[in-house]
Chains A and B, each alone.
Chain A
Amino acid sequence: MNIVPLPRRRNLGQIHVAKVTLAHGGGGKAMKDLIDDVFVSAFDNTHLAPLEDQARLDLAKLAAYGDRLAFTTDSFVVDPLFFPGGDIGKLAVCGTVNDLAVGGATPLYLSCAAIIEEGVELALLRRIASSMAETARAAGVHFVTGDTKVVQKGACDRVFLTTTGIGVIRPGRLLGADRARPGDIVLVNGVLGDHGAAILGARGDMALESPIESDCAPLAGLIEALLAAAPGTRAIRDATRGGIATVLNEFAQASNVAIEIEEAVTPIRTEVKGFCEILGLDPLYLANEGKIVAVVPAGEADAAISALRGHRYGESAVAIGEVRAGIPGRVTMKTVFGGTRIVDMLVGEQLPRIC
């Protein structure tokens, strides 16, 4: 299904059964009702019109935002679907919005593709869609096209979502992982590792009660504020899978520089630290869904930090380290204990240690 942003109303279908069946993926009326009931009714109604096979976007309107398109896609397969601080719907919007924003783009339009396992409750899908709609409103983006597929039981885990996003980059904005220079300052917009710890905790197989909530948030506004205050910003990335350790390594490799961070000032909640201590995990590698790592020239660092701190998603923003000439591609951390260690990329997934 595709939703064209034209102001023409039509009657939306509704579903009166409790669960999705393979019939809802068959391409007939049942499928149209599923799409109408769950997605179209949740996403911006005033823009809805007959479902065409594509969204049509006005080039002149896009050009008003800048001179380059940013285009990105991401799939979401989180377990559990609902977790403290968020759900798969919120995640699917934030993830794609943030991937656009860290490139300096203003996020504008999203698509949503949903793969649904037969037997999933309609109520669950409606909750997810309404969370997507709410997050999209907060992030100032519109869902303009989408697709659903229903697959047999066991072929997927309840719901998988893919969102694709388009944004526009203002003229003159040039961010890139290869632009870090010795002397630059490395910033983060707040405490690290919350999302990863929240998800592990919510899976419940650790029998650990944890009050940790995901930091899942759309960051376009925060990044806009950062770039206004520090226009010379070299690079921004959101520290999702692989945590800040992975982003720092990507910056160091692409820019052929060394990066040193300081453990003592790297912000991590006590609860997350404790969680990691018990499981033998390293918070530097835990996923975030509302955190960026930014490299800014030293002269703009103070302005950048105060701009971040002035935004609701950056209140505990802080400089955690700096870019150095050093060994190209190497990331090190000065430990609280006074030693220095290498912070490398993980080979695979971080696995809890035996003892």
Chain B
Amino acid sequence: MKYVDEFRDAEKARVLVHEIETLASSIEFAKERPIAIMEVCGGHTHSIFRYGLEGMLPKSIELVHGPGCPVCVLPMGRVDDCVAIAERPEVIFTTFGDAMRVPGSKKSLLQAKADGADVRMVYSPMDALALAKKNPDREVVFFAIGFETTVPSTALTVLQAKADGIKNFSVFCNHITIVPTIKAILDSPDLQLDGFLGPGHVSMVIGTAPYEFVSNYYKRPMVVAGFEPLDILQSIWMVLKQIREGRAEIENQYARIVPDGGNSPALSAVAEVYELREFFEWRGLGSIDHSGLRVREAFREFDAEVKFTMPNIKIADPKSCQCGEVLKGVIKPWQCKVFGTACTPETPLGALMVSSEGACAAYYQYGGVKTYEAAS
């Protein structure tokens, strides 16, 4: 397949892995402890497992799977709100596929659908808007979820709904932003990270400038990375090179997609429709200031939180769940007390077992064959 196979070339991978080994062995502190690199984005986690990258890397490199899976970090209380909206008889509740299975305190959207709620899977928020036009006597609600990657598409949909004068369409906004989250991770006292792979698709929207605090203030290197396996290996190599040379910079490996300045039409649509919340609750990480978006007052007619009353109850993560420590790289997924026992993909307790992009689910399902076996 053109533009895909080139980035999955096994021969080039071998050469790169060799370069990575050489570079890693020249980093002094790696003799004492592994070099910990966090991939922030769930898409990277998915690729790492899908191509078995962990098993190809030298033992001195440890990949820490970050919080960038929007489905995983959604708190239970918000899922309960979704279910409450979806169960109203006048509502058609529309959602991306992988949000269907996220457990709420009582049920997931998939279970609500089985109980009779009209929940429909869509592939784009524009499909939800089309559904609203087709069903003028129903209220169509779109479950807006995701980082900056998906925010522009829901913003544009709201703008379109306004332009078309649609009255029966709204979004239940659970959009989150990546920058405060990376900051929260960097601020945690038990932090053990030496560098970051920056999220490729988020950066396609926001550019690379918003990450400058990572290098300037926290003195950690970050490389914005693509999602093909060679992209990831090359980005790891670039992070190592920075560490080796004592640099901490924001570099862009994914320049074929990510413009340094981001996508300004997308950003202005986002700014027009959304504003930052004071704080937003994350599963596994707790409340993070200015990490969530809400619909602006000017578009309140499209805001499901204004249109519908919902329980809005904060539900604490189960006590036994150690997602926060896994997210910060303090422990590995299989070191969690409930991994694979009380917490499995069928009955997830914690965020990271929910979607295939979550680190625990990825270990459980795809398995970092070598690592996981050696440890268990």
Contacts and interface: CB of A to CB of B under 8 A. Distances in A.
Contact of A351 (B98, B346, B366): B98
A277 B3 CA distance: 12
B356 interface: yes
Given A347-B345, A347-B346, A354-B98, A335 B50 contact: yes
Given A335-B50, A337-B13, A354-B146, A342 B365 contact: yes
A268 to B, nearest CB: 10
Interface in B23-53: 43, 46, 49-53
Interface in A308-355: 327, 332, 335-342, 344, 347-348, 351-355
Nearest to A351: B97
B10 interface: yes
Contacts of B345: 347
B99 A354 contact: yes
Given A347-B345, A355-B43, A338 B10 contact: yes
A125 B35 CA distance: 65
B52 A353 contact: no
Interface in A192-212: 205-207
A341 B365 CA distance: 9
Residue among B14, B52, B100, B355 with the highest chain A CB neighbour number at 10 A:
B52
B127 interface: yes
A348 B97 CA distance: 12
A341 B101 contact: no
B150 interface: yes
Contacts of B56: 337-339
Interface residues of B, number: 47
A270 interface: yes
Given A353-B46, A355-B201, A337 B8 contact: yes
B176 to A, nearest CB: 12
A56 to B, nearest CB: 42
A80 interface: no
A342 B363 CA distance: 9
A340 B98 contact: no
A274 B52 CA distance: 21
A192 to B, nearest CB: 15
A127 interface: no
A7 to B, nearest CB: 50
B71 interface: yes
B96 A354 contact: yes
Contacts of A338: 10, 13-14, 52, 56
B98 A337 contact: no
Interface in A172-227: 205-207
Contacts of A335: 50-52, 229
Contacts of A270: 1
Given A353-B98, A353-B355, A337 B229 contact: yes
B175 to A, nearest CB: 11
A273 interface: yes
B120 to A, nearest CB: 9
Nearest to B48: A339
B145 interface: yes
Residue among A280, A341, A347, A348 with the highest chain B CB neighbour number at 10 A:
A341
Nearest to B17: A338
Contact of B123 (A207, A273, A336, A342): A207
A299 B250 CA distance: 56
Contacts of B52: 335, 337-341
Contacts of B147: 355
A190 B46 CA distance: 27
A277 B149 CA distance: 17
B292 to A, nearest CB: 16
Contact of B70 (A282, A342, A351, A354): A354
Interface in B208-244: 229
Contacts of A351: 97-98, 100-101, 121
A348 B101 contact: yes
Nearest to B53: A339
B369 interface: yes
Nearest to A264: B10
Interface in A52-108: none
B122 A341 contact: no
B122 A205 contact: yes
Nearest to B345: A347
B136 interface: no
A30 to B, nearest CB: 33
A338 B145 CA distance: 34
Nearest to A339: B52
A342 B367 contact: yes
A353 B14 CA distance: 29
Contacts of B365: 342, 344
Contacts of B356: 353
Residue among A279, A327, A353 with the highest chain B CB neighbour number at 10 A:
A353
Nearest to A340: B52
Contact of A355 (B49, B110, B149, B369): B149
A341 B145 contact: no
A244 B258 CA distance: 36
Contacts of A341: 49-52, 366-367, 369
B62 interface: no
Nearest to A354: B96
A347 B358 CA distance: 15
B370 to A, nearest CB: 8
Contacts of B122: 205
B366 A352 contact: no
A253 to B, nearest CB: 16
29 contacts: A270-B1, A279-B123, A282-B50, A332-B369, A335-B50, A335-B52, A335-B229, A336-B51, A337-B10, A337-B13, A337-B51, A338-B10, A338-B13, A339-B229, A340-B52, A341-B49, A341-B51, A341-B367, A341-B369, A342-B365, A342-B367, A351-B98, A351-B100, A353-B356, A354-B96, A354-B99, A355-B70, A355-B149, A355-B201
Given A342-B367, A354-B96, A355-B43, 7 more contacts: A337-B52, A337-B56, A342-B366, A351-B101, A352-B123, A354-B99, A355-B150
Interface of A: 205-207, 270, 273-274, 277, 279-280, 282, 327, 332, 335-342, 344, 347-348, 351-355
